[in-house]
């Protein structure tokens, strides 16, 4: 069990234009006392452009497309250079678009720029960022495991080395760049949900960074990771983290209203079909649907997407979002802490569903931060 006052709280790092706002927002996050900024690594977003229209979301007036992201390493480096305290976390990258040697070099470089504040968040990636770009998503779990082995090899030796695996073969590979604090490379936090990935997290990770888990499910998976760590004789610091989506307002009825907007429901379609079944519902995209492994939003037309949005039930929305005023969110955080959570990234999505609520929702975030840091 973790005391809530020991909980670290992060926010999404800036990943959208304009550039001037990105750097200003990074400085603000740092100044407000957040513990981290977490940066997505995407080509494509999670919303079909077929429904990115003004009648669905006011964001369509401000942003031409839902598929707009700064490149991960560049924006992390820029934000590292203008901040002093926050950790900078990739949430998350993967070794399909990025060769593991490049990942190793990028995060050592970011480690220098940030003076040791960088965390390599890594997972198997999302199909939407892979298959449309001519790459294969097959074997993603085995590919991640080999990539982690290669990254560790690079970080541990100055000498040329060989590696022969199923996905990569390296001969006389070398990289002598070291971390800013010699012998302490960036921690690796792994995005894991399934059994194989939990075991990989235990073997190669310094932390765990899943998403969309309720407290009980989170606690059970964390116990599994620690059991694997014990079997593998893994010791040392291990950080149990989480990324959650939030709708925040001092009035519960306002949270309810925003939760039922079309865009909020469109994001909730990301909850896997297996989770819908537990709640007694069938996912509109099929009984095997999982957003990481078989969702390419660009291939969903407007009619199909709107029909799916209309089918999202209340229980799914309540599972997808942390929702409410500061007191309600704090109680939810206490439930997670009781299961071992140490670091949470709270994505305040409120303004995406009602732009006029942006400022007031961040007032709720300040209350939460003030209480936890109390």
pTM for the predicted model, two decimal places: 0.96
- Per-residue pLDDT at 155: 94
CATH value at residue 192: 3.20.20.30
CA–CA distance from 269 to each of 120, 134, 246, 332, 370 (Å)? 27, 25, 15, 22, 32
In a domain, 51, yes or no: yes
Please state, as a whole number, how many other Cβ atoms lie within 10 Å of the Cβ of residue 190: 27
Residue 273 within a domain: no
- pLDDT tens digits in sequence order for the chain, 374 residues long: 899 999 999 999 999 999 989 999 999 999 999 999 999 999 999 999 999 999 888 888 888 899 999 999 999 999 999 999 999 999 999 999 999 999 999 999 999 999 999 999 999 999 999 999 999 999 999 999 999 999 999 999 889 999 999 999 999 999 999 988 777 899 999 999 999 999 999 999 999 999 999 999 999 999 999 999 999 999 999 999 999 999 999 999 999 999 999 999 999 999 999 999 999 999 999 999 999 999 999 999 999 999 999 999 999 999 999 999 999 999 999 999 999 999 999 999 999 999 999 999 999 999 999 999 98
What is residue 350's three-state secondary structure? helix
Q: Which residues contact residue 248 at a Cβ distance below 8 angstroms, ignoring those fewer than 6 apart?
A: 255, 323, 324, 325, 326, 329, 348, 350, 361, 364, 365
Determine, yes or no, domain membership for 71: yes
Looking from the CA of 283 toward its CB, the CA atoms found within 13 Å total 20
What is the pLDDT at residue 49? 94
Residue 284 located in a structural domain: no
Q: What is the pLDDT of residue 1?
A: 87
Confidence (pLDDT) at 61: 87
Number of domains in the chain: 1
Judge whether 74 lies within some domain.
Answer: yes
Distance between CA atoms of residues 158 and 169, nearest Å: 18
Angle (deg, nearest 10), helices 100-114 and 72-81 = 10
Residue 215 sits in which domain range?
Answer: 4-267+323-373
Q: Is residue 287 part of a domain?
A: no
Flag whether 171 is in a domain.
Answer: yes
- The reply to whether 31 falls in a domain is yes
CA distance 73 to 250: 36
């Amino acid at each position: 069990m973790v005391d809530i006052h020991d909980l670290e709280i992060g926010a999404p790092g800036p990943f959208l234009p304009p550039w001037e706002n990105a750097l200003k927002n990074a400085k603000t996050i740092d100044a407000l006392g957040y513990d981290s900024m977490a940066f997505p690594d995407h080509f494509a977003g999670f919303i079909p452009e077929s429904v990115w229209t003004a009648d669905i979301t006011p964001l369509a007036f401000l942003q031409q497309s839902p598929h707009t992201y700064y490149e991960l390493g560049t924006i992390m480096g820029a934000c590292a250079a203008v901040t002093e305290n926050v950790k900078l976390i990739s949430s998350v990258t993967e070794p399909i678009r990025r060769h593991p040697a490049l990942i190793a070099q990028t995060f050592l470089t970011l480690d220098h720029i940030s003076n040791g504040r960088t965390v390599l968040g890594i997972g198997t990636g999302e199909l939407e960022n892979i298959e449309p770009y001519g790459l294969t998503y097959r074997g993603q779990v085995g590919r991640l495991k080999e990539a982690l082995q290669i990254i560790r090899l690079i970080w541990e030796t100055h000498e040329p080395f060989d590696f022969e695996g199923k996905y990569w073969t390296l001969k006389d590979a070398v990289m002598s760049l070291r971390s800013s604090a010699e012998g302490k490379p960036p921690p690796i936090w792994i995005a894991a949900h399934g059994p194989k990935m939990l075991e990989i997290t235990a073997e190669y990770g310094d932390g765990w960074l899943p998403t969309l888990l309720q407290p009980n499910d989170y606690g059970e998976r964390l116990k599994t990771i620690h059991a694997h760590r014990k079997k593998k004789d893994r010791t040392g610091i291990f950080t149990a983290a989480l990324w959650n989506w939030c709708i925040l307002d001092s009035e519960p009825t306002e949270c309810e209203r925003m939760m039922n907007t079309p865009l909020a429901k469109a994001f909730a379609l990301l909850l896997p079909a297996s989770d819908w079944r537990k709640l007694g519902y069938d996912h509109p995209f099929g009984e095997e649907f999982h957003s990481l492994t078989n969702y390419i939003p660009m291939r969903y037309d407007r009619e199909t997407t709107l029909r799916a949005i209309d089918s999202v039930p209340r229980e799914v929305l309540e599972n997808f979002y942390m929702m409410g005023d500061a007191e309600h969110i704090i109680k939810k955080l206490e439930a997670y802490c009781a299961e071992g959570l140490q670091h949470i990234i709270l994505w305040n999505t409120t303004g995406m569903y009602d732009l006029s609520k942006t400022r007031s929702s961040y007032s709720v975030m300040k209350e939460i931060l003030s209480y936890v840091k109390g």
